[in-house]
Structure 1
Amino acid sequence: MLVQATHKLRHAPARNKSKHLFHRGKAVFPDGTTRATVDKEPFPIYAQRGEGAYLFDVDGNRFLDVNNNFTTLIHGHGFAPVSEAVVDLLRTGTCFANPTEHEIALAELLTARIPAMERVRFVNSGTEAVMFAIKAARAYTGRPGIARIEGAYHGAYDWAEAGQGISPGEAGWEPAPVATPTYRGTPPSVAEEVHLLRFNDVEGLERSLSAVSDRVACILIDPMPSRAGLIHPEPAFIEALSAAARKYGILILADEVLNLRQGYAGASARYGLKPDLITAGKIIGGGFPIGAIGGREEVMRVFGTEGAKPVLPQGGTFSANPVSMVAGRAAMEAMTQGAFDRLEEMGDRLRAGLGASIARYDAPFSVTGAASLFRIHPKRVAPIEFRDAYMNGAEVSLARRMSHHFLDRGILLPFAAAACLSTAMVDADIDFILSAFDAFLDAENQSGRESAQ
């Protein structure tokens, strides 16, 4: 048996305090919580504290955390170098109207590692980073529109989210993807300036861009679209996208807010993409709010001044605040090449083990991901684009059963999103995940046999 003594199996842990807190939350929040991404099946798990690879809830339950606040906590919870750096800083002040040396230190670290980040600006979230990167592309090219990948998630800026949630049968799905506003009341003009591309669709790429090339400022692309399926980019698609961008004078904007954790130099470098602009967030803040816009020095000049006025003004009361800068630097300094290599080794072993279980049971599942990221799909064939990854009703039910099974066994597995490893994990944690998945497939197999009798 793969599970060690520290990972005792359990079923349906009590969550009475979480249930009570959700009841309180519904009296003050429109949806009971303040984030749409919080799983409420049937109510959220309220965290009390984190320790290394584990999260402890208010009811005293202990969970192996492979959510890590949606891939942010690359070192897990309570990472000592970050905690110590922040505690020292809190005594001297947390934010100023003036710049500090801390922002220079983190910027020097990032620009030294990430080839596409010749210059950088700090903001407070991934959404804000993508928003200002799009604005920078517009300011540099003088064009209003953007192209983006169907189904990918890039935060809550109107133009970045248009077309991300289309479902089969809805307007904008067939025959080719057409951007539609994400929420009611969005100005129609937003969708008119957003042009959707299908990921890994080499043939359709040129056709889609050629018709609107004179209006498109940038191609917004997550090198491995997470929300759209955590899908591996085909080399031919990366080459075709790069060629089309050069041909039409369109900037490439790589959103690595999530996928920067794929390696020491990030995801674009891993897959041969050479963006003009790049966004980062999550892991670069050490668990504190952060976002960053980087890019070629020539393009980043739009944030500078021409005379007394910047071409693109960008401020933010908490941008480059010392807490996020110091925490981010401590977290990133600990992410050496060796630390990334170890995470990748664990990720490779996990994905291979999941695949072996799927093959052993001939189960209707597949696995995508790379480095420290993985996603289990309730589909026999691993998706290569968003349309392949989209789940029908039966697949949603199967994925829900899997998520609940993991939860009952003491593992926080995000539903229909990227799961991730942290440097706080050890080999026994990988075994624990594999054992839980194997037990789930065995239970599903037995249930199927009983239903057939």
Structure 2
Amino acid sequence: MAGSSRVGQKSRDSFARARLVFPDGTSRVTIDRDSVPVYIERGLGSYLFDIDGRRFLDLNCNFTTLIHGHAFGPVVEALTHQLQRGSCFANPTESEIELAELLCGRIPQVDRVRFVNSGTEAVLFAIKAARAFTGRSKIAKLEGAYHGAYDWGEVSLMATPDNWGDPATPKSTAVYRGMPASVLDEVLVLRFNDVEGARRSLALHARSLAAVLLDPMPSRGGLIAPKPGFIAAVQEAARDKGFLVIADEVLNLRQGFQGASARYGVVPDLVTMGKIIGGGLPIGAVGGREDVMKVFDASAGRPLLPQGGTFSANPLSMTAGLVAMRYLDHAAFAHLELLGNFVRDGIGRVISTRGAPLCVTGAASLFRIHPMAQIPNDYREAHPTAAAMALMKQLTRFFAENGIILPQGAAASISTPMTHVDAELIVDVFAAFLDSHQDTVDATEVRT
């Protein structure tokens, strides 16, 4: 793949067709493209094959969803069997009970579960559940953290130096034109790892807060490890003032057998899940303390929080998720941890040896390369300059030219079918990039 064009002719032809039916030629704003996106024909294991017949090691895994890679045999077999029996029903099925039993038995603080159709829906209903339980409307969230497409979860997702406000009191910023000012007024923005700032802001707004929405390691915010003092400060404020802690583990549940909260000492009241629990199919889930989850209870009439969905708990997602999660045993997570450590350590050694002004963050099966010499503490410190963004685009392009799909500005992920050879390839390609782009890297203004 070295030296080849990133995009083949068939992808170019497909994109020309797509531009006639989609507003910008794509169906999702999250699709990476270097002018033209790469169109995929199929995936197998840790590799993707595009419509031009080229093979790529996939570090996107559909935005960290495919923890077992593509076309995972046990999931394919189970789905084939279920499709022959039906794809969706208005009635419940035993498969939803089995997946719920697995999650409740594995994830701490998850006593009860409700299934939805996406991570966005999971966050949406978790926020609503916190409001219904506390009778309050306001939420707190981390600057730069992604929580899906619910208005309140999107506040300050794309804050910039031009609008993010004072370091001590971050400003609530809109993510799209026309976002209601009332939404901005109902969201308190915190800086990740700012212990004193969190204590001060949470105490000031405590009486109106329903919950703090906390991603233990925000991917879009930099994939930065939380400081124990920060986690403790947030949880102490919540317990003292009566608002809830919502752990958004839609992405980070893959950080361990029991998820990311257990890894970092978060004791949430509600947990949002998605991605890996669906085995490659659309899914979301809200779980939490039994007393909090009672807001969904309709056994005695209208619940405090009505929740439904035509495709919620559909048997295809339940079946795929159950099989995928059963295969995510302790051995699978140990394998992922080993490969993740190898990649992060390898990239770190290459950076150190070359003296490059870059760094790498992440944990478990996740990593992210930053165009700055020091590991950032939060979204603001991780926010790149225009020159740094251009450098990262060159990095992504170089990886693609060498047969690896590396997400730009997001978490890269390891999957269970990946091998030590795959991990070595990632490190070797990164080293080759630095060797061939040393002048560009050194000349880049890497800090905001």
TM range (shorter): over 0.9
Encode CA deviations 1:413-439: one digit per residue, 9 max, x unaligned: 000100000001000000110110000
Instruction: Note if contact 2:7-2:36 (Cα within 8 Å) is conserved in structure 1.
Output: no
- Separation of aligned partners in 1, 2:294 and 2:443: 66
Give, as a single letter, the amino acid of the residue that structure 1 aligns with 2:81: D
Q: How do 1:210-225 residues align onto structure 2 when only pairs under 5 Å count?
A: 210-225=203-218
Q: How do 1:396-411 residues align onto structure 2 when only pairs under 5 Å count?
A: 396-411=389-404
Q: What is the CA distance between 1:14 and its match in structure 2?
A: 5.1
Q: What is the CA distance between 1:247 and its match in structure 2?
A: 1.2
Q: How do 1:255-266 residues align onto structure 2 when only pairs under 5 Å count?
A: 255-266=248-259
2:101 aligned partner: 108
Name which of 60, 64, 75 aligns with 2:57.
Answer: 64
Encode CA deviations 1:199-244: one digit per residue, 9 max, x unaligned: 0000111111111111110000100010010010011111111111
Give, as a single letter, the amino acid of the residue that structure 2 aligns with 1:338: A
- Separation of aligned partners in 2, 1:373 and 1:396: 20
- Separation of aligned partners in 2, 1:116 and 1:156: 25
Name which of 402, 408, 413 aligns with 1:420.
Answer: 413
Matched, 1:348 2:341: yes
Q: What is the CA distance between 1:11 and its match in structure 2?
A: 2.6
2:377 aligned partner: 384
Instruction: Note if contact 2:168-2:197 (Cα within 8 Å) is conserved in structure 1.
Output: no
1:290 aligned partner: 283
Give, as a single letter, the amino acid of the residue that structure 1 aligns with 2:148: G
- Separation of aligned partners in 2, 1:429 and 1:446: 28
Encode CA deviations 1:157-176: one digit per residue, 9 max, x unaligned: 00010111110022545552
Q: Secondary structure at the match of 1:178?
A: coil
Q: What is the CA distance between 1:181 and its match in structure 2?
A: 2.0
Q: TM-score, normalised by structure 1?
A: 0.96
Q: After TM superposition, which residue ranges in structure 1, 4 or more long, deviate above 4 angstroms? A: 446-451
- Separation of aligned partners in 2, 1:13 and 1:151: 30
Give, as a single letter, the amino acid of the residue that structure 1 aligns with 2:105: A
2:160 aligned partner: 167
Matched, 1:208 2:201: yes
1:254 aligned partner: 247
Matched, 1:83 2:76: yes
Alignment CA distance shift 1:17-1:201 (3 Å): same
Matched, 1:280 2:273: yes
After the TM superposition, which of the residue ranges 204-213 and 218-227 deviates more from structure 2? 204-213
Q: What is the CA distance between 1:29 and its match in structure 2?
A: 0.7
2:332 aligned partner: 339
Instruction: Note if contact 2:116-2:122 (Cα within 8 Å) is conserved in structure 1.
Output: yes
1:145 aligned partner: 138
Alignment CA distance shift 1:309-1:243 (3 Å): same
Aligned length: 444
Give, as a single letter, the amino acid of the residue that structure 2 aligns with 1:421: I
- Separation of aligned partners in 1, 2:183 and 2:8: 43
Q: Secondary structure at the match of 1:183?
A: coil
Name which of 270, 276, 286 aligns with 2:263.
Answer: 270
Give, as a single letter, the amino acid of the residue that structure 2 aligns with 1:401: Q
1:19 aligned partner: 12
| C-alpha RMSD of the superposition | 1.4
Q: How do 1:296-311 residues align onto structure 2 when only pairs under 5 Å count?
A: 296-305=289-298, 307-311=300-304
Give, as a single letter, the amino acid of the residue that structure 2 aligns with 1:436: V
- Separation of aligned partners in 1, 2:334 and 2:118: 27
- Separation of aligned partners in 2, 1:353 and 1:98: 51
Uncovered stretches (5+) of structure 2, i.e. residues with no partner = none
Identical-pair percentage: 55
1:123 aligned partner: 116
Instruction: Note if contact 1:166-1:172 (Cα within 8 Å) is conserved in structure 2.
Output: no
Instruction: Note if contact 1:117-1:278 (Cα within 8 Å) is conserved in structure 2.
Output: yes
Give, as a single letter, the amino acid of the residue that structure 2 aligns with 1:65: D
Give, as a single letter, the amino acid of the residue that structure 1 aligns with 2:437: E
Q: What is the CA distance between 1:186 and its match in structure 2?
A: 1.6
Encode CA deviations 1:375-412: one digit per residue, 9 max, x unaligned: 00011011110001101111001101101000000000
After the TM superposition, which of the residue ranges 11-20 and 240-249 deviates more from structure 2? 11-20
Give, as a single letter, the amino acid of the residue that structure 2 aligns with 1:243: E
After the TM superposition, which of the residue ranges 402-411 and 177-186 deviates more from structure 2? 177-186
Q: TM-score, normalised by structure 2?
A: 0.97
- Separation of aligned partners in 2, 1:31 and 1:273: 40
- Separation of aligned partners in 2, 1:385 and 1:13: 32
Instruction: Note if contact 2:391-2:441 (Cα within 8 Å) is conserved in structure 1.
Output: no
1:156 aligned partner: 149
Q: Secondary structure at the match of 1:74?
A: coil
- Separation of aligned partners in 2, 1:98 and 1:17: 43
- Separation of aligned partners in 2, 1:220 and 1:448: 36
Name which of 27, 30, 33 aligns with 2:26.
Answer: 33
Give, as a single letter, the amino acid of the residue that structure 2 aligns with 1:418: A
Instruction: Note if contact 2:356-2:441 (Cα within 8 Å) is conserved in structure 1.
Output: no
- Separation of aligned partners in 1, 2:331 and 2:148: 31
Alignment CA distance shift 1:304-1:450 (3 Å): closer
Alignment CA distance shift 1:446-1:307 (3 Å): closer
Matched, 1:359 2:362: no
Q: Secondary structure at the match of 2:207?
A: coil
Instruction: Note if contact 2:356-2:442 (Cα within 8 Å) is conserved in structure 1.
Output: no
Instruction: Note if contact 1:10-1:410 (Cα within 8 Å) is conserved in structure 2.
Output: no
Encode CA deviations 1:99-144: one digit per residue, 9 max, x unaligned: 0000000000111000121100000000000000000000000000
Give, as a single letter, the amino acid of the residue that structure 2 aligns with 1:196: V
Q: What is the CA distance between 1:71 and its match in structure 2?
A: 0.1
Q: What is the CA distance between 1:185 and its match in structure 2?
A: 1.4
